Amino acid sequence: MIIKNIKLENIRSYISQDIELPQGSVLLSGDIGSGKSTVLLAIDFALFGLRKTELTGASLLRNGTNEGSVEMHFEIDGQDVIIKRNLKRTSSGISQDAGFIMINGEKRDGTAIELKQSILNLLNYPKDLLTKSKSLIYKYTVYTPQEEMKHILIEDKDARLDTLRKVFGINKYKRIRENTGILTSAIKEKKKELAGQIHDLEQKKGELKQKKEALEEENSKLETTMPRLELLKRECEKKKKEIEETENQITKLNKIKNQLEIKKLEQKTKEKQNREAQNELEDLSKQVTRTEKEIKEVAEESIDAQIKAKREELQKLEKETRDILNEIASLRTKKIGAEELKARITDLENCPTCKQEVKEEHKTAIREEEDNKLTAINKKLAIKEQSYEEKQQSQTKTEEELEQLKEKKSAIDVNRLKLQSLEEKKNRKEHLKTQQGIIKDELEELKDAILNLEEESKKYKDAEGIFKTKKQGLEKLQDKKSDADKEAALIKNEIKNLNRLIAGLNTEVSQKEKTKQGLAQLIQLQEWTEKHFLNLMEVMEKNIMLKVHNDFDSLFQKWFNMLIETGMLQAKMDPTFTPLIEQNGHDIDYAFLSGGEKTAVALAYRLALNQVINKLMRNIKTSDLLILDEPTDGFSNEQLDRVKDVIEDLDLKQIILVSHEPKVESFVNNTIMFKKENHVSQTA
């Protein structure tokens, strides 16, 4: 990974600044507070975003502004990458806003978390070493403030060792041991569980043996019962056939009885019909005699034509009457009109049309004219009213004559019906006489049929008794067969239950045998794990830890000896990766070293970490980048000269140093100067 440039907008003391970062060794130089360390924090923010305790929004966003951003361009594995993160001030504080990442020109917007995940994937950092804040790999290989490295050296050695084990990837052996312990505990629990599952294995085998013996016994009983049951079935079938023959005889007898009942019922019905016919015949004779006396001679004439003519006459009178009434109504209307005109002309002063005065002579003339009209109307009205009275009288007379004709026609119709009824009764008498003859013949036939049926029924008179005896015999056989059926069913049910139990026991015993084998395997696994695997892991861990420790110690001593004058101090690593400092054969505590000596120890430790980790994890993408924040704090001129040798020996593609020591400029490839005026930082 090579950083090309970084753009700052409203970040700490920067308002707007674009900083180019070339390859090779780059010195960020300037007075204290000029904004050098801000660049390193901006790089950290661009890669990993804000972190609650390590890098907050309040520590980055420029005071008095509401928005800020960092945009960084870098190259990784030949890919051009741009990442931009934004800050936003809200009522609740300063938070990260959405940003973007662009890889080879392909832009993708994302939240702070999504951007961080994209960066971690690009850097190829192991996922098991990613914390909620930032990667330990970045912290120990790329950028750790010098003061923070000094703090690491004086923190609790167990905590430091545990952290280093994670970084070196050695803690996996500890996890393996812990997981093996968990596995062993699980195996023990599983052994107890399996042992509990097979504790009754022999008992189940005994039960299985007993059930198989019981099954053989029940099969033997069934073999004895089935022949007896088959014999009873055959005897029952034989009895059923005998009963079936007797039932046929009873069916014939019942059929005869039914026919006999039907014939007797027909006989009674025919006798009743004969009596009823005789009674009806006698009654009809009386009715015929009575009807013949009642029939009168009535002249039918052409009564219908007379009624029609009379109706036409009546309709004509009704029409004439309506016409006269209409004329009377018209005359009366004219009379009223004339009277009203006379009344109006009398009271009229001026003509309603021409508005001229109407003279009395004119009024008199009009009244006389209307009087003449009224006289004529009254004469006509009297004549019409007289005519109306005459028509009314004629209409009433005609209606009476029509009613008389209708009564005469009704009498003729009644006489005609009586004649018709008389003829029907005579015909009915003849029919009844014929029917009586037929009924007598049928009664004779029925008597003969009844006698024949009574004789035939005597053949089957003992069938019912025989049927009852045979039925009782069958019921006894069926009871015996039912008992045998129940016995066979019980045996079969017991065999079925035994087969089911045997199948279940077979399955259970088979499962328990498999469980027993599994238990034996678990015992072997536990023995192998405890006696062999754990020992192997401990040996591997010790060997790897020893190798890492030796490499780390060798590198630490190398860098330390390059930074400290030979013979003044000697340094090495103890097994807990704690630096041991000696002077003239005496151990010196880190806390009692001078400022430059502490810086030398911290820098040597830091460089050793960098190279060991990069060597162990060859696939991470930050192995060519190193950021050193004030690595020369407290160094003498001689030590500053040695830093040049250290930088050359590192042979990295990009080293970014922050220092206010002017001498450092003489041995770096590039220098970027920073200055601060009126609380605003910028490159010089």
Shared domain for 364 and 316, answered yes or no, is yes
State residue 418's pLDDT score.
67
Shared domain for 30 and 119, answered yes or no, is yes
Q: Tell me what the mean pLDDT of segment 394-407 comes to.
A: 84
Q: Contact 563/600 with Cβ under 8 angstroms? A: yes
Shared domain for 48 and 141, answered yes or no, is yes
State residue 273's pLDDT score.
78
Q: Tell me what the mean pLDDT of segment 206-214 comes to.
A: 88
How many CB atoms are closer than 10 A to CB 482? 11
For the cut 80, the answer to whether the pLDDT of residue 605 exceeds it is yes
Shared domain for 569 and 609, answered yes or no, is yes
State residue 250's pLDDT score.
76
Shared domain for 281 and 374, answered yes or no, is no
Domain count across the chain = 4
Q: Is residue 549 part of a domain?
A: no
Shared domain for 52 and 82, answered yes or no, is yes
The three-class DSSP label of residue 20 is strand
Q: Which residues pair with 97 in a beta bridge?
A: 86
Q: Is residue 354 part of a domain?
A: yes
State residue 135's pLDDT score.
65
Q: Is residue 556 part of a domain?
A: no
pLDDT digits over 459-492, tens only?
767 766 777 777 777 788 888 888 888 888 888 8
Lowest-pLDDT choice from 211-215, 243-247, 498-502: 243-247
Calculate what percentage of the chain has a pLDDT beyond 90. Answer: 21
- Which of 498, 521, 549 terminates a domain? The answer is 498
Query: If you average pLDDT over every residue of the chain, what do you get?
Result: 84
What is the domain range of residue 581? 2-154+564-683
Minimal CA–CA distance to 140: which of 659, 620, 594? 620
pLDDT digits over 176-192, tens only?
888 888 888 898 888 88
How would residue 534 be classed by pLDDT, with cut points 50, 70 and 90?
confident
Q: Tell me what the mean pLDDT of segment 221-225 comes to.
A: 84
Half-sphere exposure of 481 (CA within 13 A, CB side): 15
Shared domain for 138 and 223, answered yes or no, is no
More confident residue, 536 or 432: 536
What is the distance between the alpha carbons of residues 401 and 398, in angstroms, rounded to a whole number? 5
- CA separation, residue 303 to residues 72, 312, 440, 585, 616 (Å): 134, 14, 50, 173, 144
More confident residue, 424 or 82: 82
Shared domain for 149 and 9, answered yes or no, is yes
With helix as H, strand as E and coil as C, how does 60-109 read?
CECCCCCEEEEEEEEEECCEEEEEEEEEEEECCEEEEEEEEEEECCEEEE
Tokens 């409203």 locate to: 10
State residue 32's pLDDT score.
87
Q: Tell me what the mean pLDDT of segment 505-534 comes to.
A: 87
Q: Is residue 30 part of a domain?
A: yes
Shared domain for 192 and 264, answered yes or no, is no
Q: Tell me what the mean pLDDT of segment 673-682 comes to.
A: 93
For the cut 70, the answer to whether the pLDDT of residue 160 exceeds it is yes
CATH number of the domain residue 392 falls in: 1.10.287.510
Q: Is residue 177 part of a domain?
A: no
Q: Is residue 136 part of a domain?
A: yes
State residue 60's pLDDT score.
94
Q: Tell me what the mean pLDDT of segment 217-237 comes to.
A: 84
Shared domain for 192 and 247, answered yes or no, is no
Minimal CA–CA distance to 636: which of 661, 673, 602, 671? 661
How would residue 505 be classed by pLDDT, with cut points 50, 70 and 90?
confident
CATH number of the domain residue 641 falls in: 3.40.50.300
For the cut 70, the answer to whether the pLDDT of residue 301 exceeds it is no
Half-sphere exposure of 596 (CA within 13 A, CB side): 14
Token pair of 433 as six digits = 């006489």
Q: Is residue 94 part of a domain?
A: yes
- CA separation, residue 145 to residues 135, 318, 627, 647 (Å): 15, 138, 9, 17
Shared domain for 505 and 592, answered yes or no, is no
Q: 663 CB contacts (<8 Å, ≥6 apart)?
A: 637, 640, 641
Minimal CA–CA distance to 139: which of 647, 621, 609? 609
Shared domain for 109 and 13, answered yes or no, is yes
pLDDT digits over 649-662, tens only?
988 999 999 988 88
State residue 164's pLDDT score.
79
State residue 454's pLDDT score.
73
How would residue 566 be classed by pLDDT, with cut points 50, 70 and 90?
low
First to last CA, the chain: 27
State residue 127's pLDDT score.
67
More confident residue, 260 or 631: 631
Q: Tell me, what amino acid is at 186?
A: A
How would residue 294 be classed by pLDDT, with cut points 50, 70 and 90?
low
State residue 55's pLDDT score.
86
- CA separation, residue 288 to residues 270, 274, 278, 424, 436 (Å): 26, 21, 15, 10, 20
Q: Is residue 427 part of a domain?
A: no
- Which of 362, 396, 421 terminates a domain? The answer is 421
- Which of 374, 395, 421 terminates a domain? The answer is 421
